[in-house]
């Protein structure tokens, strides 16, 4: 077929007599119903929307490039590959079989049905695609399944090719990512499909997808199992109607889980196997980023939102969400929960975080930072990170000024750094010196507020904690900690490790724990201080 030129499909009548070698399907002709033709139109439209082919229904009485008919001869359905013969590109369904009832019956739902998936599959053959498991070049087993291609005979990865085990309404609702990629490799991509600023929304009760308010059809059951191809514009996945925990990854070839840890709306591929995602992101055509989905909005659950290389706008909504913009100057909007922004230095640089509050945290992946490498400007709300200590900011993040009155705290765990704000912003006292560095690992410095605080170091941390005024209760961890109570009667517990405990003024209780600990008394200590 010719890219850009008009390619026509149509429906033959009983008198159609193309010379089919050996099969002679027209001899046992069965006509499609009006509802069946509606299903075929939707399937042809799906292929046309992904490629530069212009696939159009032919006028009655003309001779189309692709004929679609019914016959009692096929066991299921088959199609002829493109070619120069009269039968090339033609498709025949075994319409006397009960599993094709929707193609001969009256109107009803078809999204997610075997009939619609088979229509997509057979049109793929007519346009030139083969089965992934056949031929000298086979698709890798890790991708040979309906989650990746409607051309696959396997219901799930590693499944049999002899029969489908899919639940009635759990077949693909669209072309899947490898179908789109393969047909575009042959004919090119259609970037006019949904080329405006499209908002994709999904109904938690029905599985219906709408595109800026226009329905893509209601599935026969509450399932979501599709891939999105979008030709351009600044687009949004809007999942604000969901109360389940979501995992959204906008990167090409990744996907969206609408019910993390659950089965709501999930396609059932066998009696025990379900699809990994509900929505799949299409691959880029020749690296063209126009097909990226730029933005996503979460719901009221504890969501994970991951951006791609575009300038993403990610909105967590309610719940305790985790957001990562990835490369690009992203805008991350936190909600009412205890939220986390977690990304690499490169991913964070240039990002804007709105609604960053004292209960939220920022995790810098893959780098161990000391407090001196992180600075916060309370006037313009910029957080700067110098990841290698050369005095130059490697990441500048706009977090706003809602935390301007709180003390900046930096801790390290598992090779990543956590930045939080708590207590009251204050200069550290000149107090303790000679603190241990935990055998070369970074010591986290924490300054508490001037009130009464309770602080416990995370497992494995080495911390230096300044209590300031107030009756503080400070607990170290297994690292080599330095705990400084300062004024008032404090309770210090070093835990494991070789710790330094400094009570400061008033009647303090110091407990060293396991390890070689040092207790330092100042001139302001009261005689009633207790060593445990």
Report CA-CA distances (Å) from 115 to 97, 180, 392: 11, 20, 61
**pLDDT of 189 higher than 70:** yes
Give the count of alpha carbons within 13 A of 82, CB side only. 12
The rounded distance, in Å, linking the Cα atoms of 531 and 125 is 81
Report CA-CA distances (Å) from 459 to 206, 462, 463, 495: 45, 9, 11, 10
Please write the tens of the pLDDT for every residue from 153-170: 999 999 999 999 999 999
- Per-residue pLDDT band for 447 (boundaries 50, 70, 90) equals confident
CB 269 within 8 A of CB 159: yes
Strand order in the sheet with 395-398: 214-215, 209-211, 199-202, 236-238, 295-297, 313-315, 331-333, 352-354, 395-398, 382-385, 374-376
CB 281 within 8 A of CB 253: yes
pLDDT of residue 527: 44
CA angle, 354 then 360 then 363, to 5°: 95
Give the count of alpha carbons within 13 A of 213, CB side only. 1
Please write the tens of the pLDDT for every residue from 202-242: 999 999 999 999 999 999 999 999 999 999 999 999 999 99
The rounded distance, in Å, linking the Cα atoms of 528 and 328 is 58
**pLDDT of 426 higher than 70:** no
pLDDT of residue 78: 95
Paired with 91 in beta bridges are 68, 79
Paired with 341 in beta bridges are 323, 362
Strands 209-211 and 214-215 turn out to be antiparallel
- Per-residue pLDDT band for 439 (boundaries 50, 70, 90) equals very low
Q: What is the 3-state secondary structure (H, E, C) of 469-523?
A: CCCCEEECCCCCCEEECCCCCCEEECCCCCCEEECCCECCEEECCCCCCEEECCC
The rounded distance, in Å, linking the Cα atoms of 190 and 4 is 10
Please write the tens of the pLDDT for every residue from 391-406: 899 999 999 999 988 8
Q: Please state, as a whole number, how many other Cβ atoms lie within 10 Å of the Cβ of residue 389.
A: 10
Tokens of 67: 């004929």
**pLDDT of 248 higher than 60:** yes
CA angle, 50 then 55 then 58, to 5°: 160
pLDDT of residue 262: 98
Tokens of 372: 């001196």
CB 491 within 8 A of CB 455: no
pLDDT of residue 458: 80
**Farthest CA pair distance, the chain:** 111
Q: H or E stretch including 301?
A: none
Q: Which domains does the chain have, with CATH numbers?
A: 6-128 (3.40.390.10), 161-173+182-337 (2.150.10.10), 355-425 (2.60.40), 431-532 (no CATH)
- Per-residue pLDDT band for 435 (boundaries 50, 70, 90) equals very low
**pLDDT of 13 higher than 90:** no
In eight-state DSSP terms, residue 130 is: -
CB 235 within 8 A of CB 295: yes
The rounded distance, in Å, linking the Cα atoms of 450 and 265 is 51
Q: H or E stretch including 180?
A: helix 177-187
**Active site residue ranges:** 122
The rounded distance, in Å, linking the Cα atoms of 460 and 441 is 10
Instruction: Give the rounded percent of residues in the chain with a pLDDT score beyond 70.
Output: 91
Report CA-CA distances (Å) from 133 to 83, 91, 478: 22, 21, 54
Instruction: Give the rounded percent of residues in the chain with a pLDDT score beyond 90.
Output: 69
The rounded distance, in Å, linking the Cα atoms of 479 and 485 is 18
| Mean pLDDT, range 246-260, rounded to an integer | 99
């Amino acid at each position: 077929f010719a890219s850009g030129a008009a390619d026509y499909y149509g429906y033959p009548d009983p008198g159609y007599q193309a010379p089919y070698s050996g099969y002679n399907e027209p001899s046992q002709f069965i006509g499609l119903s009006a509802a069946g033709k509606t299903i075929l139109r939707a399937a042809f439209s799906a292929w046309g929307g992904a490629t530069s082919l212009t696939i159009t229904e032919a006028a009655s009485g003309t001779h189309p490039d692709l004929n679609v008919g019914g016959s009692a001869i096929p066991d299921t359905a088959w199609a002829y590959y493109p070619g120069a013969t009269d039968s090339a590109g033609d498709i025949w369904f075994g319409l006397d079989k009960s599993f094709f009832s929707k193609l001969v019956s009256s109107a009803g739902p078809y999204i997610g049905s075997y009939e619609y998936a088979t229509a997509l599959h057979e049109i793929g053959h007519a346009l030139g695609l083969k089965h992934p498991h056949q031929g000298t070049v086979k698709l890798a087993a890790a991708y040979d399944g309906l989650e990746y291609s409607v051309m696959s005979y396997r219901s799930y990865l590693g499944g049999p090719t002899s029969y489908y085990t899919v639940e009635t309404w759990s077949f693909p609702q669209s072309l899947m990512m490898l179908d789109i990629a393969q047909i575009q490799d042959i004919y090119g991509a259609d970037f006019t499909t949904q080329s405006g600023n499209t908002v994709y929304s999904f109904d938690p009760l029905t599985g219906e997808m709408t595109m800026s308010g226009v329905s893509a059809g209601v599935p026969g059951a509450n399932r979501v199992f599709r891939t999105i191809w979008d030709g351009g514009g600044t687009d949004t996945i809007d999942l604000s109607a969901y109360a389940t925990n979501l995992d959204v990854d906008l990167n090409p070839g990744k996907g969206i889980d609408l019910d993390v840890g659950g089965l709501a709306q999930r396609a059932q591929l066998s009696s025990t196997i379900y699809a990994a995602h509900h929505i799949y992101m299409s691959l880029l055509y020749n690296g063209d980023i126009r097909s990226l989905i730029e933005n996503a909005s979460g719901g009221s659950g504890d969501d994970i939102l991951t951006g791609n290389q575009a300038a993403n706008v990610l909105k967590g909504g309610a719940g305790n969400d985790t957001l990562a913009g990835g490369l690009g100057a992203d805008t991350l909007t936190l909600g009412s929960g205890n939220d986390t922004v977690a990304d690499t230095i490169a991913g964070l640089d240039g990002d804007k975080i709105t609604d960053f509050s004292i209960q939220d945290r920022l995790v810098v992946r893959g780098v161990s930072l000391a407090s001196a490498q992180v600075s916060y400007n309370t006037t313009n709300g910029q957080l700067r990170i110098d990841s290698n200590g050369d005095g130059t900011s490697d990441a500048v993040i706009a977090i706003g000024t809602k935390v301007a009155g709180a003390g900046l705290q930096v801790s390290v765990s598992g090779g990543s750094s956590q930045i939080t704000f708590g207590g009251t912003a204050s200069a550290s006292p000149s107090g303790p010196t000679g603190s241990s560095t935990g055998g070369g690992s970074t010591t986290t410095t924490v300054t508490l507020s001037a009130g009464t605080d309770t602080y416990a170091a995370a497992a494995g941390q080495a911390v230096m904690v300044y209590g300031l005024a107030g009756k503080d209760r400070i607990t170290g961890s297994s690292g080599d900690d330095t705990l400084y109570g300062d004024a008032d009667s404090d309770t210090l517990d070093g835990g494991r490790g070789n710790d330094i405990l400094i009570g400061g003024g008033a009647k303090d209780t110091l407990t060293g724990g396991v390890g070689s600990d040092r207790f330092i008394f100042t001139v302001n200590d009261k005689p009633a201080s207790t060593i445990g």
